[in-house]
């Protein structure tokens, strides 16, 4: 007889990490077999760390039993980059992986906000419309920040 962990137990390390790292308005709820974690991260590095913990607990996010809706505070320090795809729009994904759902798109040559350079492959970006997610770094070219 196997006893399965509850989702709250399975992702305890993730919710603890969110709490310790200062995620604001943290809400954790379970609904129809899926655990939802909502909140606002103080920096891109914190959001990246949470995705790292998630990937460790559920490698490649295969079980689909967690929805993490944690965006980065609008006051976090950022840089800017230009979308340098061949012609097409750049996909913006919920998490750092091609298996993650697409949550938005950035237009060819659009200037986006780089919240965090998560890895060599994935950067956490935000569009001027406020869409936030991960995109392939190879299609992003850092820009000098305009003087304010």
Q: What is the pLDDT along the chain (148 residues), one digit of tens a residue?
A: 445 679 999 999 999 999 999 999 999 999 999 999 999 999 999 999 999 999 999 988 888 899 999 999 888 778 999 999 988 999 999 999 998 999 999 999 999 999 999 899 999 999 998 899 999 999 999 886 554 4
Q: Where are the beta strands (DSSP E) in 73-110?
A: 79-83, 90-93, 102-106
Going from N- to C-terminal start, the domains of the chain cover: 7-72, 79-143
Q: Which residues contact 8 (CB under 8 A, 6 or more apart)?
A: 15, 28, 30, 35
- pLDDT at site 145: 56
Per CATH, the number for 79-143 is 2.30.30.40
CATH class of this structure's domain 7-72: alpha beta
């Amino acid at each position: 007889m196997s006893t399965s962990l509850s989702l709250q137990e399975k992702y305890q390390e993730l919710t603890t990490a969110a709490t310790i790292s200062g995620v604001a308005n943290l809400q954790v709820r379970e609904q129809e077999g899926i655990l939802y974690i909502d909140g606002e991260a103080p920096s891109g590095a914190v959001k990246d760390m949470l995705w790292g913990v998630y990937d460790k607990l559920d490698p490649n996010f295969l079980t689909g039993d967690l929805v993490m809706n944690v965006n980065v505070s609008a006051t976090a320090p950022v840089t800017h980059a230009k979308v340098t795809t061949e012609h097409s729009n750049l996909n913006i994904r919920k998490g750092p992986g091609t298996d993650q759902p697409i949550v938005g798109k950035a237009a060819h040559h659009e200037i986006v906000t780089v919240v965090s350079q998560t890895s060599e492959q994935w950067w956490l970006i935000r569009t001027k419309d406020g869409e936030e997610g991960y995109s392939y770094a190879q299609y992003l070219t850092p820009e000098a920040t305009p003087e304010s």
